Every structure is written in C-alpha cells, then in structure tokens.
Amino acid sequence: MDFQLTEEQKAVQQAARDFAQTELLPGVIERDEHQKFPAEQIKKLAELGFMGMMVDPKYGGSGMDTISYVLAMEEISKIDASVSVCMSVNNSLVCWGLEKFGTEAQKQKYLIPLAKGEIIGAFCLSEPEAGSDATSQRTTAEDMGDYYLLNGTKNWITNGNTASVYIVIAQTDKEKGHKGINALIVEKGMPGFEVGKKENKLGIRGSDTHSLMFNNVKIPKENRIGENGFGFNFAMKTLNGGRIGIASQALGIASGALEFSLKYAQERKSFGKEIFQHQAIQFKLAEMATKIDAARMLCFKAAYLKDQGKDYTKAAAMAKLYASEVAMYATVEAVQIHGGYGFVKEFHVERLMRDAKITQIYEGTSEIQKIVISRDLLKN
C-alpha cells in the first residue's frame, strides 16, 4: 500500500493551501459575522478548476481523482467551511450525479457550466418532515404526459439562492414507494419556483442556506435524470460521494483547529514558559493529531475505493462518521488550549467549533451513518 501522494496531488494540495491562506483567510471573520456569501472567493475557486474537480475535461471539469478532491477540501475547510460546503455540493452532489447518470443533452446544457463554475448547483432532498429520508418525500412530481407538475417544499438547501440549477428529489407514484421517486433538474426562474428566507445558522454562516417552495412548477420530461422511478437510487448513490466531501470538510476543520493550536501554543506563555512545554497541552495536541490522522486515512480509503470503481458505501459512511466526531473533538480542545482567547472571534477556533457541528448533521446524521455501516456489515 502506497501512502505517498503523487506530484500532481501535491500540486493540488499546495494550490488549495495557497488559495485558502491568501484569498479566504482575509475577511473570513467578517463573512461569518455578516453571513456574507463568498461569491468573489467561489469565482476564483472556479478559475482554479475546483468547482468541477472530478468531471471529465470534455465536460468542462479538471479530470482529477477523488484523493485530490479530499486534499483540496481539507485545505479549504481549514480556513472557511462556508466556501468548502459550496464546493462540496457542486462537486459531489450535483456535478457527479449529472456526469454519472445524466443524458448527453443534460451534460451539455447543465454539467459544462457547473463544472466550469460559471453557475452553481444545489441538491434538494431534505424536507421539513423528511430530512435525509428519501422514502418519505412529500414533494410531488405529478406526471402530466410531456412534463411533471412539481409541488412541495425543500429545507436546508445549500446554495439555495445563489444556485442556477437544482436537482430536486420528488415522489411521482406514492404507491410504488421508493420506486416511485424521481430526480428532476429545475432551473432558477421557472414559474412557480420561489426561494424562501435565508437561515440564520450557528455555523457555516457564509453559506447560502434556504428553503425552496414549488407551486405547480412545470418540469419538462427531458429534465428527469435516469429512468422513471430512478430518483431514490440516484439520491442514495449521490449521497455516498457527498459523504466523502463532508468527511473531508470535517477533516479540514479539525486540521485547522490543530494548526491554530500549535501556533498559539508556541507563542503563548504561562508560568514562565510557552504553553506547549506543559505536559497537559502536549497531551491535547498529541491526541488531536492522532485522531486527525486516523480520520484522514478513512477519507483516503473511501476516495481510493471510489477511484478504483469499487463499493465505497461503508467506507464513505465510516469516514463521515469518524471525521465529524474528530472535528467536534479537535475544535473543542482547540478552544480549551486557547483559554479565554479561544472564546474570541479573532483567534478563529470558536468559528471552527461552530462550523464543526454541522458535519455531524448534514449528508445524514451520525446515527444514519451507523445504520449504513451496520447494514453493510450484516449483508456479508
């Protein structure tokens, strides 16, 4: 087993790190404070090819592997998880799903501008009473012959107002259960499509999270992804890749907390010496580093399996489960290491702690990851 990164992967990692430090770090506190969407930063990220990293170049993407995607997500997330979640949704949930299951016409019309970052996409599964449970969809897509009539509400949608293209999961035939669900491509501006208010969130405050309302929106049949009734399978397969993205985001948040803590521990003095010389601080740093490395290996394993075309369902769920727990652990420890300064915004770690919590919730809660893992174990 080779643990060495390729030269190309190292270059991607360095480019992401440089971007995070030069373009994201200045202004990240202000964007968080004022819930400002990082439009300018996303545009520059797209120019680097990071909004369609794994998409074939013939469709406007960068053609990179999933390991490179994990590396880039980690570096971006160290500084601004609001940027990385936008990047994750566009890459893992929207671009991947369209490239894997979309028609050639759908790829030409939607995937190319999405992969280039000319427009942003959104993935619409969660509902007020459904969360990540795709089988309990109340949003309906009534088959009207040559179009679907879409009605319902979606909640907690990342890129909710800034997206131009939305993949919406909706129930077409309730009697068929999960086999009666479809995935539809919805364009912003379609009559009857309304964006609700922006959510005032604990963390990732710069990201654009909204409810979406659909009132008799006519969706052409050519905007359905896959065969009739494929929507549930589409959502499940797409969420697998999404878990790698969120695991990588959690990994980055934890890594950022460790880096800020290492820097602070070598500058801050207590009882006549730098605090890193105190064994209590050393223990915290060692525990953080060990858990972060373990989370990174889980992310790499899931990414490797995906790149090899092997089943990565369990690996992605494990990576997301553990990395999100490490993100919470590491950020809480970082605040503790910083003491009173950890409670102050200018030292960054309190923001990382707030951002870390959402990684345990979206793309399925920790409990959902455990269900996915146990089902995989029990089928063998």
pLDDT at 268: 84
Backbone torsions φ then ψ of 307, nearest 5 degrees: -65, -30
- H-assigned helices in the chain: 7-19, 28-34, 39-47, 66-79, 81-88, 96-101, 104-106, 112-116, 231-267, 279-307, 313-338, 349-358, 366-378
Q: How far apart are CA 130 and CA 63, in angstroms?
A: 35
Residues listed for the chain? 380
Torsional class of 131: left (φ above 0), alpha (ψ -120 to 50), beta (otherwise): left
* Every domain range in the chain assigned CATH 1.10.540.10: 7-120
pLDDT at 275: 86
Tracing tokens 């309906």 back to the chain, one arrives at: 140
The domain at 7-120 falls in which architecture?
Orthogonal Bundle (1.10)
Q: How far apart are CA 165 and CA 208, in angstroms?
A: 14
Residues 41 and 80 sit within 8 Å (Cβ to Cβ): yes
Torsional class of 197: left (φ above 0), alpha (ψ -120 to 50), beta (otherwise): beta
State how beta strands 147-158 and 140-143 pair: antiparallel
**CATH superfamily membership of 232-378:** Butyryl-CoA Dehydrogenase, subunit A, domain 3 (1.20.140.10)
pLDDT at 251: 98
70 three-state secondary structure: helix
Q: How far apart are CA 41 and CA 355, in angstroms?
A: 18
pLDDT at 376: 92
Q: Return the amino acid letter for 235.
A: A
Q: Greatest CA separation found in the chain?
A: 78
Please identify every residue annotated as catalytic: 363
Instruction: Going residue by residue through the chain, which has 380 residues, state the pLDDT in tens, using 9 for 90 and above.
Output: 688 999 999 999 999 999 999 999 999 999 999 999 999 999 999 999 999 999 999 999 999 999 999 999 999 999 999 999 999 999 999 999 999 999 999 999 999 999 999 999 999 999 988 766 667 789 999 999 999 999 999 999 999 999 999 999 999 999 999 999 999 999 999 999 999 999 999 999 999 999 999 999 999 999 999 999 999 999 999 999 999 999 999 999 999 999 999 999 999 878 888 888 899 999 999 999 999 999 999 999 999 999 999 999 999 999 999 999 999 999 999 999 999 999 999 999 999 999 999 999 988 789 999 999 999 999 86
The domain at 122-228 falls in which architecture?
Beta Barrel (2.40)
What does 281-334 look like in DSSP terms, one character per residue? HHHHHHHHHHHHHHHHHHHHHHHHHHHTT---HHHHHHHHHHHHHHHHHHHHHH
- The C-alpha angle with vertex 362 and arms to 176 and 62, in degrees rounded to 5, equals 95
Q: How far apart are CA 155 and CA 98, in angstroms?
A: 22
* Every domain range in the chain assigned CATH 1.20.140.10: 232-378
- The pTM of this model reads 0.96
Backbone torsions φ then ψ of 186, nearest 5 degrees: -115, 135
* Every domain range in the chain assigned CATH 2.40.110.10: 122-228
13 three-state secondary structure: helix
pLDDT at 270: 80
* 281-293: burial string, b at 16+ Cβ within 10 Å, e else: beebbeebbebbe
Extract the tokens encoding 65.
Answer: 């592997």
pLDDT at 133: 67
Give Cβ neighbours of residue 373 (< 8 Å, ≥ 6 apart): 314, 317, 318, 321
Q: How far apart are CA 257 and CA 260, in angstroms?
A: 5
Tracing tokens 């679907």 back to the chain, one arrives at: 148
